[in-house]
Amino acid sequence: MKAKQQRMVLVVIAMVAIIGAGLMAAWALSNQANYFYLPEQMAEAPPEVGQAVRLGGMVQEGSLKTEADGVTVNFRVTGNGEAAIPVRYSGILPDLFVEGSGVVAEGSLQANGVFLATNLLAKHDENYVPKELEGMTQQQAAKVAADTTVGLQ
Amino acid sequence: MIAEIGLAALWLAAALAVLQMISGAAALRSVDGSTHPLAIYARPAAIVQAVLAVLAFLMLLRAFAITDLSIKLVATNSHSMKPMIYKLTGTWGNHEGSMLLWVGVLALAGGLLAGLEKRLPEKTMGATLAVQGFIALGFYAFLLLSSNPFERLPVPAAEGIGLNPLLQDIGLAIHPPTLYAGYVGLSVAFSLAMGALLTREVNPNFARAMRPWVLGAWVLLTLGITAGSYWAYYELGWGGWWFWDPVENASLMPWLAATALMHSVSVLAARDALRTWTIMLGVLAFSMSMLGTFLVRSGVLTSVHAFAVDPERGAFILALLLIYIGGAFTIFALRASAVSEGKRFAAVSREGALVFNNVMLSAILAIVLLGTLYPLLAEAFDARVSVGPPYFNPASAIFAIPMFLVMAVGPLLRWKEDKPLRVQFEMLLIAAVLIATLAIVALAGDYPLLPVLGLGLAAALGVAAFLPLRGRKLSRVPTAVWGMVLAHFGVAVSLLGMASEGAFTEERLAAVAPGDTVEMGDWLITLESVAPVAGPNWTAIEARVAARLGEGEAVTLTPQARNFWSPAQATSESALLTRWNGQLYAVIGAQTPDGRWQLRVWWKPFVTFIWYGGLLIALGGVLAIIGRVQVDVKRRKAAELGEERRADLAALTPEPAE
């Protein structure tokens, strides 16, 4: 094999690997598009039980209850419509987590319809808003969600 | 006066960058043998520019030290009551100051290059300095036109606003300067690559000149990322050490490119192969540095790193990014075919293994890049998505696992051509360690797939790292080889830490009243008391927690929930207990209505190995630099000696009679 041929072979191998990585990333990312759910969507077309997703919305007024163990909280997340998803979370709540504030819960839906959160992203200072909820009213959030979620048409 | 001196120094430095560019470009026009009259100014311009840019930075440092509230930047980001160390580090805890640090390091790197590098042909050096001056000019323009750090307030403020409490930590003294120095060190690699490409000097000599810069930048990047990861781990109070946050990815991407570049430049220096590939990686590595700067500094991301959201600045950096990267890739496309092919090598050879791992690193880079940019692109179309660990972990592991396997064997292979059978003992040994570890972990319990694979690979790599020393006399092993062994072992150590943290972490979360004890694994955790405490610019609730391992002695931990008052913000200060085999991590939460306190504790086995590994990797890089410099000095001495002897001989030999 001549040096020039060898260089071509190397270029082709590198291209194949990097394009492969790109395609794989594109495929995996298109699956990620429905990684973020609003309460309406979760009620309408719930993700598979146990699949890691994010649920974003507002903490419903009057729904926040702490269990007897002192560390497990139950609350409901609402969006634009009637839908309210019960969320269960064990852990230290973010500092500015209160009823009526926006929240993004990371976790998965359980078989009993409760969203088991492993992490809550809420404001940790006056200026910080979870990226997905930044500057959105509930109506806008619902519209945006309809645009971002594939396979709902 | 401080601000005016600083500003004047910056303008002068910008003017010198123009001179450096013109003079460097003039060197390209020199006819063989004679130097263009303009070409002699490039080196001094670079050196004086470095002095001026560093002076400007020192002036800002002074303004922060004395809290000069007539300067807008100080008034909006500092506070007279802050401890001195945070006043100083606060200099780069904001947009303008951190860009000034960036530019200062850039100019310093250019000055060092101009002052120290004497091996390259003058033409190549001129082109390199011209490119370096062009880069510096863009960032001077950015500072002076859109983010002037020395702007005065019409009326001095009565008191400063203060610094984000998350940044009031010793981490701010270490993480940004090392990371920036690494980012910017890659600019020298970029300029050298461009210089060599423009003057058609892509050869082992050029690779040897470029190598210490790449190694140095890579060592600093490694340290910066390691420090940043540990800082986020203890400061954010979530117990995680890597979040795949876009700003973290922004530092990981240049590191991946620099790792590939460092290996490929070694092949070029040792074997004169991979010429164009090395140039391309040089361009890519600095492109990733600038992309990182753009992502972090333009305000497209909301995070603790995004100090100011100003679309004009974002557009400015984006324009610079397009000019430099676009320009570089255009020159690359035009000139790459003119670079003649390097030496050939077989698929099974040291070069082959390095090429494979270069490609795998590039693939991981592509995965991280797409995952980081996808949410931003989606947002441009008004769609909001989040990409997190469920994407990054498996997608990067697909390429990382074959890379680690090849990395175990690669250093054992010979250059140019080798037979797999020759290293069959080593390969069998590595495979045996891998399979045995996987089997033991799989039998021990039910753990997630990736951490289990990580443990197996860590064990195999740990053994494989030392195999290149087998059969060699240890006292005669070159320093650079020790560097490689250490760095590869560091990867194994770090991987062990990550996998162990992922597989074996124990966690306990409970609401406890003072005096109560909770159990976690072998640990007994007692909440002794909760009391308010106050610091210079914060008040806090501090818990005294006694941790006891079995029958051992109790150790007191004091996690705090802090409230800063300028700016008003609450943070959680975790408390850590470090043992050789892991770390106990405690966080105090809110008080429950019945008066108990939320307490969250983790036992993270071997988690510290993640950062020890990072330090080992960096140390390996330092050894490699030392080794190369030693060889270089020896070579120069030998050459000088040879010259002398020849001169002596010439003096002794009688002139031939005419």
Question: CA-CA distances (angstroms) from residue B506 to B520, B523, B581, B603?
Answer: 7, 10, 14, 5
Task: Judge if A84 and A65 occupy the same domain.
Answer: yes
Question: Tell me, what's the pLDDT at B550?
Answer: 79
**Chain B residues with CB inside 8 Å of A132's CB?**
384, 386
A14 with A88, same domain: the answer is no
pLDDT band of B363, cuts 50, 70, 90: very high
- What DSSP state is assigned to residue B90? G
Dist. CA B255–CA B217, nearest whole Å: 9
A106 and A42 share one domain = yes
Report which of A58, A30, A47 is spatially closest to residue A133, judged by C-alpha positions.
Answer: A58
pLDDT: is B383 or A30 the higher one?
A30
First to last CA, chain A: 55
pLDDT at B610: 94
Q: What pLDDT does residue A12 have?
A: 84
Indicate whether A132 belongs to any domain: no
pLDDT computed for residue B33 by the predictor? 65
A41 and A83: one domain? yes
Shared domain for A13 and A43, answered yes or no, is: no
Picking from A4, A6, A70, the nearest residue to B592 by CB comes out as A70
Mean local confidence (pLDDT), B612-633: 93
Give how many domains chain A has, as a whole number: 2
pLDDT band at B648 (very low <50, low <70, confident <90, very high): confident
Q: Does the interface ipTM go beyond 0.85?
A: no
State the pLDDT at residue A93.
Answer: 79
DSSP characters for B410-451?
A: GGGSPSS---GGGGHHHHHHHHHHHHHHHHHHHHH----HHH
* Inter-chain residue contact A17 with B374, CB threshold 8 Å: no
Q: Is A129 inside any structural domain?
A: no
Residues A114 and A69 in one domain: yes
Q: What percent of chain B has pLDDT over 70?
A: 95
Residue B190's alpha-carbon distances to B28, B194, B289, B325, B369, in angstroms, are 18, 6, 11, 10, 20
Structure confidence at residue A129 as a pLDDT band (50, 70, 90): very low
| B590-596 contacts at long range (C-beta below 8 A, 24 or more positions apart) | B590/A92, B590/A93, B590/B561, B592/A66, B592/A70, B592/B511, B593/A66, B594/A70, B595/B513, B596/A70, B596/B511, B596/B512, B596/B513, B596/B516
Q: Are residues A26 and A59 in the same domain?
A: no
CB contact burial B126-136 (16+ within 10 A = b; e otherwise): bbbbbbbbbbb
pLDDT digits (tens, 9 = 90+) for B523-578: 899 999 899 998 877 888 899 999 988 788 889 999 998 888 767 777 788 889 99
Average pLDDT over residues B13-33: 85
**Given this model, what pLDDT does residue B309 score?**
53
Instruction: Give the structural domain span for A20.
Output: 1-33
Distance CA B651, CA B648 (A): 5
Domains of chain B with bracketed CATH: 1-165 (1.20.120), 423-505+612-658 (no CATH), 508-605 (no CATH)
Chain B residues close to A71, C-beta within 8 Å: 509-511, 589, 598, 600
Q: What is the pLDDT at residue B456?
A: 95
B222-278: per-residue pLDDT in tens? 999 999 899 888 887 777 888 888 888 889 999 999 999 999 999 999 888 888 889
Answer yes or no: do A42 and A97 share one domain: yes
pLDDT at A125 > cutoff 60: no
Residue A152 resides in a domain: no
Question: Distance (Å, rounded) from C-alpha B38 to C-alpha B34?
Answer: 12
Residue A81 has pLDDT above 80, yes or no: no
- pLDDT band for A146, please (50, 70, 90 cuts): very low
User: Mutate which of B168, B379, B385 to disrupt the A interface (most A C-beta within 10 Å)?
Assistant: B385
Let me know if residue A139 belongs to a domain: no
Residues written for chain A: 153
In a domain? residue A5? yes
B596–A90: do the CB atoms touch at under 8 Å? no
Contact residues on chain B for A18, CB-CB shorter than 8 A: 359, 362-363, 366
Closest chain A residue to the Cα of B344, Cα to Cα:
A3
Whole-number Å distance between alpha carbons of B108 and B51: 7
Of A13, A29, A125, the CB nearest to B569: A125
Average pLDDT on A43-51 reads 83
Q: Verify that A46 and A105 share a domain, yes or no.
A: yes
Alpha-carbon distances, residue A102 vs A60, A84, A136 (angstroms)? 10, 14, 10
Return the pLDDT at A150.
33
Q: Tell me which chain A residues have a C-beta less than 8 angstroms from the C-beta of B342.
A: 3
Q: Say yes or no to pLDDT of A151 above 80.
A: no
Local confidence band at B596 (pLDDT 50, 70, 90 cut-offs) = confident
Domain membership flag for residue A142 = no
Position B657 scores a pLDDT of 54
Q: Are residues A101 and A41 in the same domain?
A: yes
Residues contacting B66, CB < 8 A, separation 6+: none
**Does any domain span residue A76?**
yes
pLDDT mean over A140-149:
44
Residue B514 corresponds to which amino acid?
Answer: P
Looking at residue B311, what is its pLDDT? Answer: 66
Q: Contact at 8 Å (CB) between B304 and A37?
A: no
Q: Which residue has the tokens 């606060």?
A: B90
Cβ–Cβ below 8 Å for B509 and A90: yes
- State how far the Cα of B65 lies from the Cα of A1, in Å rounded to an integer: 65
**What CATH number has the domain bearing residue A90?**
2.40.50.140
Subunit contact B302:A71, Cβ cutoff 8 A: no
Q: Do A23 and A42 belong to one domain?
A: no
Residues A56, A117 within the same domain: yes
Q: Residue A39 is encoded by which pair of tokens?
A: 């309460």
pLDDT of residue B103: 92
- Find, in chain B, the residue whose alpha carbon is nearest to that of A52: B390
- What whole-number distance in Å separates Cα of residue B457 and Cα of residue B437? 9
Average pLDDT over residues B281-301: 83
* Position B652 pLDDT exceeds 90: no
**pLDDT score recorded for residue B432:** 95
Q: In the predicted model, what is the mean pLDDT of chain B?
A: 87
Considering the domain boundaries, does residue A131 fall inside one?
no
What letter would DSSP give residue B473? -
